[in-house]
Every structure is written in structure tokens, then in C-alpha cells.
């Protein structure tokens, strides 16, 4: 059941503040109390917030999002298509950790993959939780911190080759629901891992997933971080991820946005140790009336850090894709090497893409390149494919897939690359019929 009429922005926010109180004790309770105070003081961002200026949140205000008070029973069969072979798996259904769907058996020594709530007593959890993703000025982060029910906790000391899959599933619910996925990843010195954060739906329903992820890389740690947003078409997904990278650490991210009526992904990376490196690959592939917003920030706080970013948007139908990419080079961050590229593909005359690369440099000794392009399907390539017998639709979907593949192919998990490639090609075929 959907709320029949549009409610006001204020009503929508107030409804979120009526979230379910999740019991916790000690330090976490203190943080939750603070977070509620901040959430009450804040509100949805408006066009006056520079980072949100281009993002039309009004589809959100069609719904009153209720707390999750009951849980659907989900079987492994239900989520079969979302599973990855040979992975360590944590599954959350509507924000609640679901042990029977999870598979933790192959996490070896030095690796902890578990429910966050179960590990609330760990010193690393206490030392890091809510320390990296600030909620003081961010209403969504404050709401998450107040109302999250459980989350994923990944702690890696050592090297692990098996990918860790964190699957967040939003089910089809009676009323639009607010779900608060949470994730904390702590990479100890010299550790190495691959983590896949995955947001998907089971049945279309206008739920709001408001997620917060915190990533800590200690000296020389290496993390490959994949984020897949493949929610159902009327869902909402707002996610914030903060990454703090210490000396010599390497953070590599591939963030994909395919689903949701409206999605926003914020990724803030702070290169806070000398020689830290970040590579951010991003792709939004949307159509219909979808809105997908990606805002990234890479902060070169120390000398000789490197960052490399390639973000692509593909918009069909009357979709709207937004990319805001800020790169900051602090005073004293000499020897900074940064490259940013935003490449965009418009598939329809009604689609809309905004891209805003932004450089803020407070230092002379740096190499920073950035650029943005927006184009349509290459006419020569299209003619070539048609001259080989492919229909216009097939040729266009193949070229669209190829444009997307450059990002997807970077994911170091072959099974996932293949599965995503198939899904996209199928979707494009369907979209073009």
C-alpha cells in the first residue's frame, strides 16, 4: 500500500524521526542519543546545499517511511540470483542480520566478518564506529546512526582472497519502510581484502534504504571495495561512505548504480597518510524516470598521495544522472598526483546528465588533471554494427554495454563481472524493445 497523496517535505522528515528505538548500551547508546539530537536539529538538504542543488528529492516526499517492525521470511532460493559463488556472505533483510542466509565458513584466521551488533564490545568497533562518517551536519547519516538495527562488521588482519559479499535486501513491504544498512570495515596494517557491498530488492516497493559505511585503512592496507546499487525501480537508496586511508594504503572502489527511483551515493575518501592511493571507478546506468546522483570527494591531506577517478553516467528515457566530484589538495600535500575523468553517454533526447568536476588546490607542487565529456552513441560505430547485420536496437544496446563494461570489467571478481554484464545486456535489450 502506498501513501496516496504527496506529503510535505517536513511531514516526510518527521515520519523518519518517528523511527523505531533500537536498544543499545554504553558507548553506542551515547552515540545514538547524540545522533537523534542532530537528526532532530537537521532536515532534508535543500537546493541551498551546494552538493544537493541538482538533486530533486521530491519523489521521496510522496511517501511516509515507516520503521521496520516485522521481517519477511526470505529463503536462499529467493535470493539465488544475487548470490556470488565462492564468497563469504553476510545477508541483511530490511536491515536485520539474517544468519541462515549468511555464509561465514571460509573466513580464515585474522578475519572477522559478522553482525556489527554482535561485536559492539570489540575495541576496534568502539574506536571506529561513527568516527569516520560524521553525522553532525548530515541528516541522513544522523538518522542512520540513530536508527540502524544492525550492520556488517569486517575486520581484516592479514590477507584474504575470498571476496566478502555484504548483501542488503529490501523486501516488498506493506507500507513504505525506512531501512538503515550500516557497515564498518577495518583493515589492519598490511592487510588485503575485497568487499562487495550490495543493495538489492525482492519485489518492488518504495522503501528507503539509508546506508552509512565507514572504511578504515591502516598503514599499507589494501582494499578493493565494490558497491552495487541494484534496487527495485520504485525504491530509494541514499548512501554515504567515508574512507580514511593511512600511510601507503591503497583503496580501490567500483561503485555501480543501476536501480532505484532515486539514488544518491556519497563517497568521501581522505588520504590522510603519506603515499596513500585511491582509485575510484563509478558507473550510473539508468533510464525511465530514474535519478542517480553520485558525489565523491577525495581529500589529499598528506604529501605524495595519488588518486585516479573515472566516473561514467549513462542516461536513457527521461532519467537524470548527476556527478559531482571534488578533489582537494591541502596545504603541504606536495607531490600530489591526481587524475579525474567524467565520461557520459546520453541515450535519449529527454535524458539529462549533470557533471561537476571540482578542484580545490592549496599547493603548488601538484599534478592534477581533470576532464568531462558528454556524448551520444558513436554514429560510425553504430553504422559499422548495422552493416554487419545488427538491428539498430541491438547495435545500440551493444555499444551501451561496451561503454559500461569499461567500469564493470575493473572488478577483480570474474563471476561478478560476468553476472553483471549479462544482467545489463538483458536489461538494455528489454529497454530497447
Residues that bind another protein (CB under 8 A): 378-381, 383-392, 394-395, 398-399, 401-406, 409
CB of 66 to another protein, least distance (A): 43
- Residue 304 or 394 having the CB closest to another protein: 394
Whether 249 and 221 have beta carbons less than 8 Å apart is answered as yes
**Given its phi and psi angles, is residue 3 left (phi above 0), alpha (psi -120 to 50 degrees) or beta?**
beta
DSSP labels for 280-306? Answer: EEEEEEE-TT-EEEEEEEEEE-STT-E
CB of 323 to another protein, least distance (A): 20
CA–chain centroid gap for 336, Å, is: 26
Backbone angles phi, psi at 390, to 5 degrees: -80, 140
For residue 404, count other CB atoms closer than 10 A to its CB: 23
- Residue 286 or 399 having the CB closest to another protein: 399
CB of 196 to another protein, least distance (A): 22
- Residue 298 or 395 having the CB closest to another protein: 395
SS3 59: helix
SS3 10: helix
SS3 348: coil
DSSP lists the bridge partners of residue 328 as 299, 360
d(CA 90, CA 221): 22
CB of 273 to another protein, least distance (A): 35
- Residue 38 or 401 having the CB closest to another protein: 401
CB of 34 to another protein, least distance (A): 47
CB of 260 to another protein, least distance (A): 25
- Residue 289 or 394 having the CB closest to another protein: 394
d(CA 95, CA 181): 5
d(CA 235, CA 247): 39
Length of the chain: 433
Q: Residue 3 corresponds to which cell in the numbers above?
A: 501513501
Q: Residue 422 corresponds to which cell in the numbers above?
A: 549479462
CB of 347 to another protein, least distance (A): 15
CB of 343 to another protein, least distance (A): 11
Burial environment of residue 113 by CB neighbours within 10 A (0 to 12, 13 to 18, 19 or more): buried
Cα Rg of the chain, angstroms: 21
- Residue 50 or 393 having the CB closest to another protein: 393
For residue 29, count other CB atoms closer than 10 A to its CB: 12
- Residue 412 or 421 having the CB closest to another protein: 421
Sequence-ordered list of residues with C-beta below 8 angstroms from that of 20, at least 6 positions apart, any chain: 67, 68, 69, 147, 149
CB of 409 to another protein, least distance (A): 8
- Residue 362 or 383 having the CB closest to another protein: 383
- Residue 17 or 382 having the CB closest to another protein: 382
Amino acid at each position: 500500500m502506498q501513501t496516496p497523496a504527496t506529503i510535505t517535505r517536513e511531514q516526510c522528515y518527521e515520519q523518519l524521526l518517528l523511527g523505531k528505538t533500537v536498544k543499545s548500551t554504553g558507548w553506542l547508546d551515547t552515540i545514538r542519543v547524540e545522533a537523534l539530537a542532530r537528526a532532530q536539529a537537521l532536515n532534508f538538504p535543500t537546493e541551498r546545499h551546494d552538493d544537493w542543488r541538482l538533486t530533486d528529492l521530491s519523489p521521496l516526499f510522496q511517501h511516509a517511511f515507516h520503521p521496520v517492525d516485522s521481517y519477511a521470511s526470505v529463503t536462499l532460493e529467493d535470493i539465488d540470483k544475487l548470490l556470488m559463488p565462492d564468497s563469504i556472505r553476510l545477508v541483511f533483510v530490511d536491515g536485520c542480520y539474517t544468519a541462515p542466509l549468511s555464509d561465514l565458513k571460509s573466513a580464515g584466521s585474522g578475519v572477522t566478518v559478522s553482525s556489527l551488533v554482535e561485536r559492539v564490545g570489540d575495541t576496534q568497533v568502539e574506536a571506529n564506529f561513527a568516527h569516520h562518517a560524521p553525522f553532525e551536519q548530515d541528516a541522513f547519516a544522523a538518522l542512520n546512526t540513530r536508527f540502524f538495527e544492525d550492520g556488517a562488521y569486517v575486520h581484516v588482519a592479514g590477507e584474504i582472497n575470498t571476496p566478502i559479499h555484504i548483501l542488503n535486501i529490501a523486501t516488498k513491504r506493506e507500507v513504505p519502510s525506512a531501512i538503515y544498512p550500516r557497515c564498518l570495515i577495518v583493515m589492519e596494517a598490511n592487510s588485503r581484502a575485497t568487499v562487495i557491498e550490495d543493495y538489492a530488492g525482492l519485489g518492488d516497493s518504495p522503501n528507503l534504504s539509508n546506508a552509512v559505511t565507514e572504511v578504515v585503512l591502516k598503514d599499507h592496507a589494501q582494499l578493493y571495495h565494490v558497491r552495487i546499487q541494484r534496487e527495485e525501480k520504485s525504491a530509494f537508496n541514499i548512501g554515504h561512505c567515508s574512507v580514511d586511508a593511512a600511510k601507503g594504503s591503497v583503496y580501490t572502489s567500483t561503485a555501480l548504480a543501476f536501480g532505484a527511483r532515486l539514488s544518491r551515493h556519497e563517497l568521501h575518501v581522505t588520504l590522510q597518510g603519506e603515499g596513500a592511493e585511491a582509485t575510484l571507478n563509478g558507473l550510473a546506468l539508468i533510464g525511465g524516470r530514474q535519478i542517480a546522483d553520485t558525489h565523491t570527494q577525495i581529500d589529499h591531506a598528506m604529501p605524495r598521495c595519488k588518486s585516479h577517478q573515472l566516473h561514467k553516467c549513462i542516461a536513457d528515457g527521461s532519467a537524470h544522472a548527476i556527478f559531482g566530484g571534488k578533489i582537494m589538495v591541502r596545504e603541504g600535500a606536495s607531490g600530489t598526483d591526481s587524475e579525474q575523468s567524467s565520461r557520459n553517454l546520453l541515450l535519449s533526447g529527454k535524458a539529462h546528465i549533470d557533471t561537476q568536476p571540482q578542484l580545490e588546490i592549496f599547493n603548488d607542487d601538484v599534478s592534477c588533471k581533470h576532464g568531462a565529456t558528454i556524448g551520444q552513441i558513436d554514429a560510425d560505430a553504430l553504422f559499422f554494427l548495422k552493416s554487419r547485420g545488427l538491428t539498430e536496437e541491438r547495435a545500440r544496446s551493444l555499444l551501451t554495454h561496451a561503454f559500461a563494461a569499461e567500469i564493470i570489467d575493473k572488478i577483480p571478481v570474474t563471476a561478478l563481472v560476468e553476472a553483471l554484464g549479462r544482467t545489463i545486456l538483458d536489461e538494455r535489450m528489454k529497454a530497447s524493445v
